[in-house]
Structure 1
Amino acid sequence: MKINRVLNNNSIVIKDKGVEKILIGSGIAFQKGKNDIVDPNKIEKIFVLEKENEKFKELLSTLPEEHIMLSEEVISYAENTLGIQLSNHIHISLTDHLSFAIERMEKGIIMKNKLLNEIRLLYKQEFEIGLWAIDLVQKRIGIHFPIDEAAYLAIHIHTAKMKSSSGHEKIAEKAQIVQNMITIISSELNMEIDKGSISYQRLVTHLDFLISRKGSQQLDGEMFEMIKRKYDKAFHCAEKAASFVELEHNINFSESDLAYVALHLQRLINENS
């Protein structure tokens, strides 16, 4: 294989049977130029230059090499941890995001993630990868990201995992709905909810379950009436939160759904008192 174009020290473009491909590897283009032979031992990743990857080629030509290699290391770690191959788009979205985030931090611009707690609970594995990534950045280039950045990275990773072009928006929207419901619940119950408690984590997980339409759980009539009567305050609060979701997002909860949410809320009430 011969080099067709050098993008940076760690990435080149070749032509293989008339098809353009990007080759990535540490030092793969060091002291090399067009028509030089590629060292196959230095090839770490190969991308076919389809339409989407034109953007990736542009990023490789313009972004700092250190940022690109950091991003690729995070992507490799994520794929090994999750045991799957992420969507190719992650090489564009995560690289672009991470480089911009590093630039922001260098200028002292810190962005808070208002969905931090929800993302941490809903996408635990991806969030752990995000934590690993911000630790890697600190070790390699001395940039200390706040924990909020781990949540931003988690969304990118989960989107690539789902292989959905609109996944990023859907994930953020779902986390926002959960957060809004928690705000309504906290206000209705007139209590500060401990977001570190097991009961809160279970509530958030269950709300995500319902919002994702993964199937309603059914209670018999007698059990439903008992919960509604015995935990009337919690049930009324569940109704308030569900009314918001129905009005704003056209998502309907069944009576059984409300009863299960009420059970979670009752735990929070008991713990608070």
Structure 2
Amino acid sequence: MHKVLNNNVVIQVDESGRERVLMGRGIGFQLKPADAVDPAKVEKTFILDEGEAGERELRMLDDIPYPVIESVTRATDAAERSLGRALGRGFALAVLDHLQFVLERLEKGVRIPATSMPELRVLYAAEYAAATGMTASIAASLDIELPPEESVFLTMHLLNATRDEPNGTAALLFRRVQHVVTTVENGLGLRLDVNSPDYARFVLHVQFLLQRLVSRTMLTSGDTSFFEFAKHSYPASFEIANEVKAYVKAATGSALTDEEVLYLIVHIERLKTQLRSGHTGEPVLVSSAVNSLQ
């Protein structure tokens, strides 16, 4: 048996009593309870949640115009192909809920503030690319202009759907990377060039540093000569690295080794050189230390 929610959404009850949502353009038009659903019109299907959550999902599907549902469905399918994995029903519903909120605000001339979060492009390149594709696809499908920051919001939704980690782990790591980047920028008194290779290398280094800290595999060495050389030769970068060390200690309870601090100094010097010269040339310390420590 089935019931028509609207012209584009039909609720079918299976033999076990579960409600299955069938979506498709015109699937419910003039459909009577005794009529068979045309399978050719079914574009998407999923099982409803039970109880209050299921009722909320039904209200959302009834309230949101079908072109919006259709655009999100197509964009989600494309993202799944891009990432090579299923994103699940919850992802599409979360995007629908978010997008409808955005569209309602845009109609009123209200734009949701968001930072560009350039670290996302480095740390989660595949998810960011898929989110950017979704934003462009939805905008083209609805013939509207979506703010660029929608790619940031959709990337965060994708991370929630794809990270096989304890809930919030990816977000926590991301926030810590952001804090380290901000600490370095404040220490240098400049904003980093987020499109430079040195920036990408630095952000990835910070990510791996924090992951090594969690897994207790931090870099160590019995030779302190490079650390002492960097400490005395580049006092400004050493001071910034020490500020990062203090933040990491306060945030995680673990202290960075001298070897990890040395690598931070190397990257900070590289960033400083790039900012001063306008290119990615490396100071002598960078080439010497990196070659020796690999």
Place the TM-score, normalised by the shorter chain, in its bin. 0.7 to 0.9
Q: Which residue of 1 aligns with 2:279?
A: none
Tell me the SS of whatever aligns to 2:98.
helix
Q: CA shift at 1:191, angstroms?
A: 3.1
> Quick one: distance in 2 between partners of 1:259 and 1:141?
51
* Residue-pair matches, total: 269
> Quick one: distance in 1 between partners of 2:164 and 2:102?
23
Q: TM-score, normalised by structure 2?
A: 0.81
Q: CA shift at 1:152, angstroms?
A: 0.5
Tell me the SS of whatever aligns to 2:5.
strand
Output one character per residue of 1:14-45: Cα deviation in whole Å (capped at 9) or x when no partner: 11113221122333223323332111222233
Pair 1:184-2:178 in alignment: no
Q: Which residue of 2 aligns with 1:150?
A: 151
> Quick one: distance in 1 between partners of 2:22 and 2:233?
65
Q: Which structure's CA Rg is the greater one?
A: 2
Tell me the SS of whatever aligns to 1:261.
helix
Q: CA shift at 1:208, angstroms?
A: 2.3
Output one character per residue of 1:91-136: Cα deviation in whole Å (capped at 9) or x when no partner: 2211101111122222221223225212222221222122222222
Q: TM-score, normalised by structure 1?
A: 0.86
Tell me the SS of whatever aligns to 1:233.
helix
Structure 1 residues 170-209: aligned runs within 5 Å? 170-209=169-208
Q: CA shift at 1:6, angstroms?
A: 1.6
Structure 1 residues 58-207: aligned runs within 5 Å? 58-162=59-163, 166-167=167-168, 170-207=169-206
Q: Which residue of 2 aligns with 1:265?
A: 268
Q: 1:216·1:257 contact (CA, 8 Å) conserved in 2?
A: no
Q: CA shift at 1:249, angstroms?
A: 5.2
Quick one: higher RCO (CA 8 Å, sep 6+), 1 or 2? 1
Q: CA shift at 1:171, angstroms?
A: 4.1
Q: Which residue of 2 aligns with 1:253?
A: 256
> Quick one: distance in 2 between partners of 1:163 and 1:271?
36
Q: 2:177·2:203 contact (CA, 8 Å) conserved in 1?
A: yes
Q: CA shift at 1:154, angstroms?
A: 0.8
Structure 1 residues 46-61: aligned runs within 5 Å? 46-51=45-50, 52-61=53-62
Change (3 A) 1:137 1:201: same
Q: Which residue of 2 aligns with 1:234?
A: 237
> Quick one: distance in 1 between partners of 2:164 and 2:4?
30
Change (3 A) 1:179 1:165: closer
Change (3 A) 1:255 1:43: farther
Q: CA shift at 1:173, angstroms?
A: 4.0
Change (3 A) 1:92 1:8: same
Q: Which runs of 5+ in 1 are unaligned?
A: none
Q: CA shift at 1:268, angstroms?
A: 0.6
The residue identity in structure 2 corresponding to 1:240 is: E
Output one character per residue of 1:196-219: Cα deviation in whole Å (capped at 9) or x when no partner: 211111111222233343664424
Change (3 A) 1:214 1:78: farther
> Quick one: distance in 2 between partners of 1:179 and 1:220?
28
Instruction: Name the Cα RMSD after superposition.
Output: 2.5
Q: 2:7·2:26 contact (CA, 8 Å) conserved in 1?
A: yes
Change (3 A) 1:210 1:28: farther
Tell me the SS of whatever aligns to 1:89.
helix
- Which consecutive segments of 4 or more residues in structure 1 shift more than 6 A? none
Q: CA shift at 1:228, angstroms?
A: 3.9
Q: 2:8·2:29 contact (CA, 8 Å) conserved in 1?
A: yes
* Percent sequence identity over aligned pairs: 29
Change (3 A) 1:178 1:127: same
